[in-house]
Structure 1
Amino acid sequence: MVKLSGRPPAPPAVPDPTLLLTAAVCRLAATIGVRLVVIKGIAADQYGLRPAHISSDVDVLVDHDDHGRLLAELGTRGWHRRPSDPDTDAFPVHSASMYHPEWGADIDVHFRYPGLEAEGGIFEPIWAQRTTMWCGNQPVCIPGLVDAIMIGAVHAIRSRFSRRHREELDFLVRRCSDLDVTLLLERADQLGALAPARPFLERLKPFEAEYDWGEASAEWRLRTEFPEPSQRRAMLWKQAAPRERLTKLRLALFPPASAFVKETTATKLGPAQLAGRYLRRWFRGAKALPQALAVLRASGRRRP
């Protein structure tokens, strides 16, 4: 007689949807002749550059000229582009997030990457030092180790107001403690990341006071010095010409519906839904007003 256990057998493990999606988007890019590099996600995991966790999306980098073509091809396969924030001064566009009703993860298609500010663009230098790994029985191009480190560093620094990203930066510093920092400095210089990645690089080795880090772009300083949207908008309003200030104020208070649609998977919002989101926006803005006013008061003493 067979003795039955009172506990049912464990269900088979469900594959990580981002791994399947990574293989699928790389296959699609190869089919249409688009060069594509998978960044963050499985690349960081492959090199052990971050604590283990399941990614919420698939991040890929393509050449600027191929960006529209890949998005169009994804569109023919049922993928939709999430609207971006219409205030592109406060939220400069660097990628397009694509979602599909039948997939549990987005594809974030980058044509540039904040913190990597090389004048000639970053795709070609990263492509030149790419390597290949296998994912879902599909060859996948990922950045070389040093490039993956630089991407991870500027990503964590950009969001260092978040505890999780501070922990990721600490993890990356420990992971790179035995590496030759000279190689990281040289590559950071080539990718235009010396100034943005400075908080990471300085922790690996003490530098003489006169070391020339260069200067990060105004966009990078805006992203890292003012994490709250109200702070960014206040700073940009202060810097704007008088005739532009009314437009910026109107966009902050009465943005188009796409500013709210981007937070959902819906294609449109009804009048009641839209009204509710405007009210919540104004309420958040009122709570953040003291911080915004503090930014305006300090702007005379702070470098823009």
Structure 2
Amino acid sequence: MNNPAPITRAHGDERLLVHEAVALGHAFVSSVAQDHGIRALLIKGPILNQLNLREPRASSDVDVLVDPARRDEFVLLLRPLLWVERPVDYSGKALPTHAIHLINESWPCDIDVHDHYPGLFADKQAVFDRLWNDRTLATVANQQVPTLSLLGHIVIAALHSLRDPTAGRSVRELAFLNDRVIPMLSNEQRTELLSLCKQFRALETMRPFLTGLGFAGIARDLTAVERKMWLIRISDQQQSFRWLRRFADTPLTERPALVRQALFPPGTAFRAHHPATPSGKVALLEARISFIVARVAALKRSYSLYRRNRRL
């Protein structure tokens, strides 16, 4: 499948709606991977709706889990098709990233290319190989695309909610899994789900969900460092923690410039990470003010978290 850019409707210049682009994006990504013999699994998004693993809602991007050994190759294949990396988070990186976010000016959605998923601490190649071996097919945009098994998707859906546990959507989606999905699982499926979590070293990260399945005494399967990294990731202070780590590692003479970068990122970088900001200087200024107020408050809240984990 060639890159269908620019994306416009047949009768006029109106861009495709996001949900239309997401559906086409699933077929496009799968086609590119298959054409080059790259193993790739479409995850989350509209497939969760099909499996009744969440309340139906539209997705805003395409998530694909790619063979870790060929993830970078896959990203390079998309570049000639005008898919480029979204500007990196200007806060710096204190935690490992799990996806490369690609954008295309002609598409109203991103493609997130994963080589692993947060909360799965086993070797990422071994995790992918198991998920690939258990794969099934889903129909998106009238095309069959490889995807996770039901149990594989339940693990990813639960972790997606558990890594941001205080967000309203996460609370609702985890409640949906507990109230609507768990009762439908057989004892055999529950046992297999626990086995998957053991193999993926996700017992601790999945503990709240596994407890709901009726399993007690969940073993600890993370190292001390991994446990701290997970606690940071699921806190609402992750980005602020990254800034504090970077600030501590920066020489004194360079810290004023770093503070300016933190509070006043370039307009292009700011809009890349806040795409809902309306056009115009006034709208940008108002968005910046709100951003500064929120960031200062977050930095205050995250300082104690940084001090507890500064030796990571």
Shorter-normalised TM range: 0.7 to 0.9
Residue by residue, what CA displacement relative to the aligned partner does 1:95-140 show, whole Å, maximum 9, x if unpaired?
Answer: 1111122222111111111111112532111111111122233220
- Equivalent residue of 2:42, what SS? strand
Is 1:172–2:182 an aligned residue pair? no
Bigger helix fraction: 2
Structure 1 pair 212–279 and aligned structure 2 pair: CA distance change class (3 A): same
Pick one of 89, 98, 104 that aligns with 1:100.
104
TM-fit CA distance, 1:303: 10
Match of 1:262 among 257, 262, 272: 272
Aligned counterpart for 1:31 among listed residues 29, 35, 59: 35
Report whether the alignment pairs 1:69 with 2:78.
Answer: no
Query: What is the rounded CA distance, in whole Å, between the counterparts of 1:90 and 1:279 in structure 2?
Result: 25
Shift of the 296–25 alpha-carbon distance from structure 1 to 2, 3 Å rule, reads closer
The one-letter amino acid of 2:149's match is G
Q: 2:113 aligns to what? A: 109
SS in 2 for 1:107: strand
Q: How far did residue 232 of structure 1 move?
A: 5.1
| Distance in 2, Cα, partners of 1:229 & 1:201 | 28
Determine the C-alpha separation between the residues in 2 that align with 1:17 and 1:276: 30
Aligned counterpart, 1:89: 93
Tell me the distance in 1 between the aligned counterparts of 2:88 and 2:246. Answer: 20
Which residue in 2 is equivalent to 1:221? 231
Quote the residue 1:140 is aligned against. 145
**What amino acid maps onto 1:133 in structure 2?**
A
Identity %: 31
Superposed CA deviations along residues 83-102 of structure 1, whole A, max 9, x for unmatched, are: 12144533532111111222
What SS does structure 1 have at the residue aligned with 2:153? helix
Once the two structures are TM-superposed, the CA of residue 252 in structure 1 deviates from its matched residue by: 5.7
Structure 2 unaligned runs (5+)? Answer: 1-15, 276-280
Q: Determine the structure 1 residue equivalent to 2:11.
A: none
Q: Which secondary structure state, in structure 2, belongs to the residue aligned with residue 38 of structure 1?
A: strand
CA shift, 1:169, in A, is 0.5
TM-score after normalising by structure 1 = 0.78
Aligned residue number for residue 5 of structure 1: none
Does residue 151 of structure 2 align to residue 151 of structure 1? no
> What CA distance in whole angstroms lies between the structure 2 residues aligned with 1:87 and 1:65?
28
Change (3 A) 1:230 1:47: same
Q: CA deviation at 1:65?
A: 2.4
Q: How many residues align?
A: 280
Q: For the residues of structure 1 that align with 2:25 and 2:306, how far apart are their CA atoms?
A: 44
Aligned to 2:13: none
Q: State the one-letter code of the partner of 1:260.
A: F
Secondary structure of 2:212's match?
Answer: coil
**1:172 shift after superposition:** 1.0
In structure 2, the residue corresponding to 1:59 is in which secondary structure? strand
- 1:119-130 aligned at under 5 Å gives the runs 119-121=123-125, 122-130=127-135
1:201 aligns with 2:210: yes
2:201 aligned to which of 180, 192, 201: 192
Question: Are the aligned partners of 1:260 and 1:277 in contact in 2 as well (CA < 8 Å)?
Answer: no
**Structure 2 CA distance, aligned partners of 1:296 and 1:98?**
30
* Aligned twin of 2:168: 163
Gaps of 5+ in 1: 1-12, 266-270
Distance 2:204 2:221 in 1: 6
Q: Matched residues in 2 for 1:273 and 1:69: separation?
A: 39
1:43 to 13, 37, 47: 47
User: What is the alpha-carbon distance in structure 2 between the residues aligned to residue 23 and residue 289 of structure 1?
Assistant: 41
Q: Output the aligned Cα RMSD.
A: 3.4
Contact 1:79 1:99 in 2 (8 A): yes
CA distance 1:293–1:138, shift in 2 (3 Å) = closer
Name which of 11, 14, 17 aligns with 2:21: 17
Change (3 A) 1:32 1:226: same
2:88 maps to amino acid: S
Distance 1:128 1:52, change over 3 A: same
User: Using a 3 Å threshold, how does the CA distance of structure 1 residues 277 and 66 change in structure 2: closer, same or farther?
Assistant: farther
Q: 1:9 corresponds to which residue? A: none
Give the superposition deviation at 1:226: 4.3
Mapped partners of 1:46, 1:166: distance in 2: 20
Q: Cα gap change, 1:47/1:92 in structure 2, threshold over 3 Å: closer, same or farther? A: same
Segment drifting more, 273-282 vs 142-151:
273-282
